Amino acid sequence: MSGAPLLSVENLSISFGGLKVIDDVSFSLEEGGRLALIGPNGAGKTTIFNLLSGVYRQDTGHVRLGGQLIDTAPSRKRIGFGMARSFQNIRLMPHLGVVENVMLGQHSRADRPGGLLTPLSFFGRSQARAEAEALLEDMGIEVVPGQDVSTLPYGIRKKIELVRALAARPNLLLLDEPAAGLNGAETEELMAFLDRISASGVTLLVVEHDMGLVRSLCTRAVVLNFGRKIYDGPTADVQRDPLVLEAYLGPRHSDKSEASDVA
């Protein structure tokens, strides 16, 4: 592991209609790390993801990935640089099979110049299929040939979406509320699945409201409130931090020693 962080967010700010939605936010994430980005509704978490993935362009500040400035690169290029993202709502192609959906994730890889614009040869296609099947097997997902993803349970589709993101061979995976819509058993399974992804060397940045998942998956948390960073430290201490308590519960309650409804 090199000394430099994998992801460096430096003094990012963006305004919409005169309202500063992200205000001078900085944090870094070391290679192989697992960082939670949390905060009350409207704090700016999704906006940070949109800035990191190139959906929005910041007014000021910089984003570095592996030491390289990426903040003028379009979204697809950022995937090629090693950043992948999963969305809160599943975005699989419903009438394609599992393997075909995972193959879609291979197209923006750095080793696929031209990406979607370059049709694969027959050999390239069968190699891509074999890689997708191997990745699914590695991640413990059983594939029934000919089955459309739309027929699968929500929890499985969520995992397939993550495998599709992994097909781009990212160093950094941005997870936007991965446990949203999952029941307790599915959330447990997802945690084990994310552990496996992390063990394979992928660095995780996770927006999540489920504090149980945040605590068991991430060692460190950055907390936003009204677009500003108010905490950057161990996940174990976040629910005792006075500024965090005030952000979630209001000033009257911030003298409590701990809150269970943070995040």
| Nearby residues of 215 by Cβ (< 8 Å), 6 or more positions away | 235, 236
**Interacting span for ligand ATP (CB under 6 A) from 39-47, 57-65, 153-161, 194-202:** 39-47
CB of 149 to ligand ATP, least distance (A): 25
Concatenating the DSSP letter of every residue in 144-208 gives -TT-BGGGS-HHHHHHHHHHHHHTT--SEEEEESTTTT--HHHHHHHHHHHHHHHHTT-EEEEE-
Residue 26: CB minimum distance to ligand ATP, A: 17
**Using rule CB under 6 A, residue 228 touches ligand ATP:** no
Round to whole Å and give the CA distance between 140 and 182: 19
Longest dimension (CA), the chain: 66
Beta carbons of 199 and 216 less than 8 angstroms apart: no
Q: Is residue 44 part of the contact set for ligand ATP (CB under 6 A)?
A: yes
d(CA 183, CA 185): 6
Residue (42 or 234) nearer to ligand ATP, CB: 42
Minimum Å gap between C-beta 152 and ligand ATP is 26
From 43, 65, 102, 206, residue interacting with ligand ATP (rule: CB under 6 A): 43
Q: Is 154 in the site for ligand ATP (CB under 6 A)?
A: no
Binding-site size for ligand ATP (CB under 6 A) equals: 10
| H or E element at residue 124 | helix 122-138
Minimum distance of ligand ATP from residue 87's CB (angstroms): 12
Minimum distance from CB of 49 to ligand ATP (Å)?
Answer: 8
Angle, alpha carbons 184-185-186 (nearest 5°): 90
Give the nearer residue to ligand ATP in terms of CB position, either 136 or 211.
Answer: 211
Residue whose CB is less far from ligand ATP, 27 or 82: 27
Say whether residue 225 binds ligand ATP (CB under 6 A). Answer: no
Separation CA 221–CA 226 (nearest Å)? 16
Quick one: which H or E segment has residue 212?
Answer: helix 211-217
Binding status of residue 47 toward ligand ATP by CB under 6 A: yes
Residue 13: alpha-carbon gap to chain centroid = 20
**Residue 42, interface with ligand ATP (CB under 6 A)?**
yes
**Does residue number 105 form part of the binding site for ligand ATP (CB under 6 A)?**
no
Q: Taking CB under 6 A as the rule, does residue 45 contact ligand ATP?
A: yes
First to last CA, the chain: 31
Instruction: Select from 225, 166, 185, 165 the least CA-distant residue to 37.
Output: 225
* Binding flag, residue 39, ligand ATP (CB under 6 A): yes
For residue 59, state whether it binds ligand ATP (rule: CB under 6 A).
Answer: no
Q: Which range touches ligand ATP (CB under 6 A), out of 40-48, 67-75, 106-114, 213-221?
A: 40-48
Nearest residue (CB) to ligand ATP, 56 versus 81: 56
Residues engaged in binding ligand ATP (CB under 6 A)? 16, 21, 39, 41-47
